[in-house]
Structure 1
């Protein structure tokens, strides 16, 4: 864009300021949006988990039978 010479420095200064302001504002806005979305999501997930009844954990573990010390002699 062509500007008269006396106004060119004003335009360049304004553009530098607006780019810096745009970077700062985009960081602030994106941070607020990110925290809001994930904050609401976290609250909803916690509420849903609190409403579910807690059940005993299911496992396939079988308790081993106690073995005599002689069985440990030749392990390999």
Structure 2
């Protein structure tokens, strides 16, 4: 799995520096600047604490995550 950022040009997503084989299935997420998430002060503090914790902990690869998730399917 890869993460890449692209730009829409003439109705098509263009990603510089990424060469994918023809027919590759991709997922596109778009930002909606008008939607805001409102959190209570307690929820915001909890989220910030979790982000700080995630920055210092070792993570796993996306491939390992998907292997682990398959156990629940």
Question: TM exceeds 0.5?
Answer: no
Per chain length, whose mean CA-contact separation is higher, i.e. which structure has more relative contact order (CA < 8 Å, sep 6+)? 2
Q: Counting helix residues as a fraction of each chain, which structure ranks higher? A: 1
**Structure whose CA Rg is larger:** 1
